[in-house]
Structure 1
């Protein structure tokens, strides 16, 4: 039998780190804990521990990481859930459901306005038993930038595969170079930390984006540029020197992922930003560009116009407090890969 209790980030620090290392990421440690649990400019993490009453040992945990968001009517604080894990003998539905209910009870009590999660398949069995305010889907959009891997799957002869790959890659290069970028949009790499202009853009646009994380300069610096887990790159789009949009991406070997894409309502700016990113990645020999985003995201159709294609989808769990009078259900949620916990 287990019980749940809120953790103390100072006194329970070692147990939290050890659980994450044992169940989620063996490479995780003090640096990740400091960054993810303590340094978030939107507030420190909340953690709930599962305790075996027979021996008083810590056998599981779930965490919630604060996110300030804009809605069309107000600014609110919620959580993105993560680092949910239980020791093997406790992974039946009962203990997992008990731990998840303890977390959501804080939302129901009005401590925060909402939470969201990107659950694994195993977690879906737990969440399906709970009152979900909304279940949506994150879809993975992919654009191939080179055909080498696809050709190797069907052509065994190396010489033939090389020739076909060269032809296919040249065709993709011609296609992407034919895309025009607006002459009024200046796209360039951003070096150093984000400044006040990023906070200004977040405040100008966030409220028009439905439910959208407040991407202040402090948040972007923490989430991406001071992230100890991965190296991110940032491209900005400006008109007359004024920041209009930006893209945050990361490369893993010969694959690239667009983690964040934020800007105004003008599709010309967003399209120019994506095209410049594609050109840059093609020049670096990257094989493909992936863009995970909510299936209802307004820019999904723009990506499809640039030859991005839908691949698999994964669930997104949305949950808000019963005391919230502003209807989250009536507003679009602008979620991308960068809106996860880490």
Structure 2
């Protein structure tokens, strides 16, 4: 069968892509389409069979990085889906080749993706290289999570956890005298220009860091249609930010979507404040998706997070391998929910 792949204006491709999502990505909300595609941050590619019927689609979400001190324009490969009767290798390969064609043309310097086990071989075949596993870090905040996982009824899980929770290991909060006097902890309801300053100051910690200025954080978190996010900040007496954590509640889990500090020594304090808030609000677990710096991974371990597989890998595509060899190691990166298009 012959296929054609086109990149169309978001308005004209809307109904075709939404219908494909209803068939193949049922968890994707319709509100996600204008947020991603009609905002201008993502480009859609539609696969059509003979006769013009849409049978698959993929997208490329633009994302800027600072890579070894230089601006790197990049994009995340997203929303690959193909109708079941067309799920041979050819259609999926064609869609992904259309996506990386934007890199091959020189319009972008890099593409990256977080494929599951089914789509990973397709990406390898067209030239993506793996960085490492996207790990799911989980901390038990209440034994209710364990008891309910074992199938205990809610009343029994609640009663038993009241006895068991005080015995859960807790790391003491970072000592306050490690920070400058007067550091304040607060929730904020918007991302202002203080976040621009923070991400510029924090960038030197990571050889490769995705853009985290106020405009991007506002789009990614404040305007996200599928999840309500909140932000916890550490601030100097004059209001300058020294760190932030973005998080959202899903059922009984508090998901840590992003974090950044001006100085790694402030990471413990930020983590302690986030976990204190999560416990206060009755969350049973804290969860973070992460691939990157050993400094962040070590902090997660210190605070009792367990490393679990997410079933996804972080992968990168470059045309001519222009990035230094160090970019092939996950410890050069800081990939969090801020760098992922979905909230799963």
CA distance in 1, matches of 2:149, 2:223: 39
Q: Are residues 52 and 286 of structure 1, via their aligned partners in 2, closer, same or farther at CA, if it must alter by over 3 Å?
A: same
Alignment of 1:1-342 (within 5 A): 1=1, 2-25=3-26, 28-29=29-30, 31-39=31-39, 43-53=40-50, 55-152=51-148, 163-172=159-168, 175=170, 178-182=172-176, 184=181, 185-191=183-189, 193-240=190-237, 241-267=239-265, 269-294=266-291, 296-313=293-310, 314-322=312-320, 324=322, 328-329=327-328, 332-342=332-342
| Counterpart secondary structure, 2:125 | coil
| Counterpart secondary structure, 1:289 | strand
Q: Are residues 234 and 158 of structure 1, via their aligned partners in 2, closer, same or farther at CA, if it must alter by over 3 Å?
A: closer
The answer to whether the Cα contact below 8 Å between 2:292 and 2:333 also exists between their aligned partners in 1 is no
Q: Which runs of no fewer than 5 residues in structure 1 stay unpaired?
A: none
CA distance in 1, matches of 2:95, 2:53: 15
The answer to whether the Cα contact below 8 Å between 2:170 and 2:303 also exists between their aligned partners in 1 is no
Counting matched residue pairs gives: 333
Q: Which runs of no fewer than 5 residues in structure 2 stay unpaired?
A: none
| Counterpart secondary structure, 1:245 | strand
Per the normalisation by structure 1, the TM-score is 0.89
CA distance in 2, matches of 1:58, 1:12: 10
Q: Are residues 167 and 102 of structure 1, via their aligned partners in 2, closer, same or farther at CA, if it must alter by over 3 Å?
A: same
Shift of 1:341: 1.4
The answer to whether the Cα contact below 8 Å between 2:133 and 2:309 also exists between their aligned partners in 1 is no
CA distance in 1, matches of 2:154, 2:337: 36
Shift of 1:153: 5.4
CA distance in 2, matches of 1:280, 1:325: 40
| Aligned-CA RMSD value | 2.4
Range that drifts further, 230-239 or 181-190: 181-190
CA distance in 1, matches of 2:199, 2:293: 21
